[in-house]
Structure 1
C-alpha cells in the first residue's frame, strides 16, 4: 500500500509513534510501512534497504526515507555496516541467546521490584492497554497490533517505578523487534499472546509476583521460536 493512501486512512488520528519519537508525520508513515513489511515477511533479515526502492514502494521523498532509516537505526531495527548500506538486523543463534538473556534479566528485575498492591489507577491503565491490544488483534492491522503490544509492555513493566529500568525494557523491545515481528502475523501466536496478557493482568490483581514473573519470561519465547524456525533451522 502506498504511504499516501495510508496517510488518508489515518489523517484524523494522532499518531503515537510521532509523539513518542518526535519525528515528522511523513517519516512516521515510512517507518510504519517498513515495520508492516517486516511483519509480513516482505522485508527479511539482511535484506538491503535501498533508498530508491523505498522511495518508489512508499511514495516518499529521499530525505524522508533517509530520516526513517536513521530513526530505525537509532532504535536498533536497522543496521548500517560501513560501505554496505542499510539492512534489517539479523540474529544468529548466539546473538539471539544474548538478546533474550538480557530481556529475561530486565523483565525479572522489573517484576521483582514492583510494589504491591498496584495503585488502582495504574492497574486500570494496564488493563485498558491489554484490552486495546486484544481489540487490535481482531482488526488485522499489523502495526496497531505491534504498537498496542508494546504499549501494554511499557505500562506493565513501568510499574517497577524505576525509569531507567523501564527505558531499558523499552529499548530492548525495539532491539528485539526484528526477531519478534513474525509472531505478530501468526494467528496462533497472537491468540496466545492475548491470553497471556490477560493472565498477567490477573496476576497483578492477585498480587501474585511469582506467577507474574513466570508469565513474563514464558511470554517472550513463542516469537523467538518462530524466528528460530524461520531463519536458524
Structure 2
C-alpha cells in the first residue's frame, strides 16, 4: 500500500480527505473538532455518501475518532497519549535505522536524495498539502531502506496516526526549514554510512512538531 492509501479511493472521496487534511494543517479544523456530515457536505460541495466514505477512511488511519454517542472528531492527544505515541514512534524509527544495510545502493540513495529535494522545493511553493505529501514520501523512502516490510508498515501507520499532532508544524516556517536541513543531514549520513548520526537524526527529527503541538494544545 502506498504512502497515501486514500489516493486509491474514488476521486471525490480522496478530494474530501485532502480538503480535511488541508484544513487541519491550516488550523481551521482543530483537535477534538466535531466533524458534522451536513457541514462537511456544504464546505466541500460533496454528497453525503462521499463525506461518510472520507470519514471512514480517516477513522481507519487514526486521524478521526468516533467515541460512542458523540460522533466523528479529529483525534486530540493529551500529555500521556502523546508521550506514549512518540515513545513507540521512537522505538520504530530506531529499529528501522538499526536494520538498514549500509552502504545503501546508489539508485536507492539517489531516490532518497531526490525526495529530500522535492520536499525542499514544496516548502518554497507554499502549497501545504504538497509539503505534507512530499514529507511523507521522503520518510517512506528513508525508512524503507530498512528492508523490513513490517517495520515499514508500522511506521507508515503511525505517521498517519500522529498526523493530528504533526500537522501544525507544516505552517511553521522555522520547523519547515529545520526539517529540510535534517533531511539533507540524513542523506549525508547515509552517504558516509554513519549509523550513529542516522539514529540521532531519526529520533531528533520528531521533536519540533511535537513541541509545537504541546505549545498549542497542552500548555493551556
Structure 1-normalised TM-score? 0.91
Q: Distance in 2 between matches of 1:73 and 1:106?
A: 22
1:229 aligns to 2:215 (yes or no): yes
Query: How far has the Cα of 1:83 moved from its partner?
Result: 1.5
Question: Please, which runs of 5 or more residues in structure 2 have no aligned partner?
Answer: none
RMSD over aligned Cα atoms:
1.2
State the match for 1:107 in structure 2: 93
SS of residue in 2 equivalent to 1:109: helix
- Higher relative CO (Cα under 8 Å, sequence separation at least 6) belongs to 2
Quote the offset at 1:19 in angstroms: 6.4
Residue 174 (structure 1) aligned to one of 141, 154, 160: 160
Q: Which one of 108, 119, 122 corresponds to residue 133 of structure 1?
A: 119
Contact 1:157 1:166 in 2 (8 A): yes
User: Partners in 2 of 1:175 and 1:182 — Cα distance?
Assistant: 14
Give structure 1 stretches of 5+ with no counterpart.
1-15
Matched, 1:49 2:35: yes
Work out whether residues 18 and 25 of structure 1, in 8 Å CA contact, stay in contact via their aligned partners in 2.
no
Alignment deviations for residues 128-177 of structure 1 (CA, whole Å, 9 cap, x no partner): 11011011001111111011100100000000000010000000000000
Aligned residue among 75, 78, 90 for 1:89: 75
Change (3 A) 1:19 1:232: closer
Please show how residues 12-91 of structure 1 align to structure 2 within 5 Å: 21-91=7-77
8 Å CA contact 1:196–1:219 kept in 2: the answer is: yes
Change (3 A) 1:225 1:19: closer
* Cα distance in structure 2, aligned partners of 1:32 and 1:96: 24
Number of positions where the alignment pairs a residue of Structure 1 with one of Structure 2? 218
Q: Distance between the aligned counterparts of 2:74 and 2:82, measured in 1?
A: 14
Q: How far apart in 2 are the matches of 1:114 and 1:20? A: 28
Query: 1:189 matched to which residue of 2?
Result: 175
Residue-by-residue CA offset, 1:165-202 (whole Å, 9 max, x unaligned): 00000000000000000000111100110000000000
Q: Secondary structure at the match of 1:160?
A: coil
> Residue 18 of structure 1: CA displacement?
6.8
User: CA separation in 2, counterparts of 1:87 and 1:113?
Assistant: 37
| C-alpha contact (below 8 Å) 1:18/1:28 kept by paired residues | no
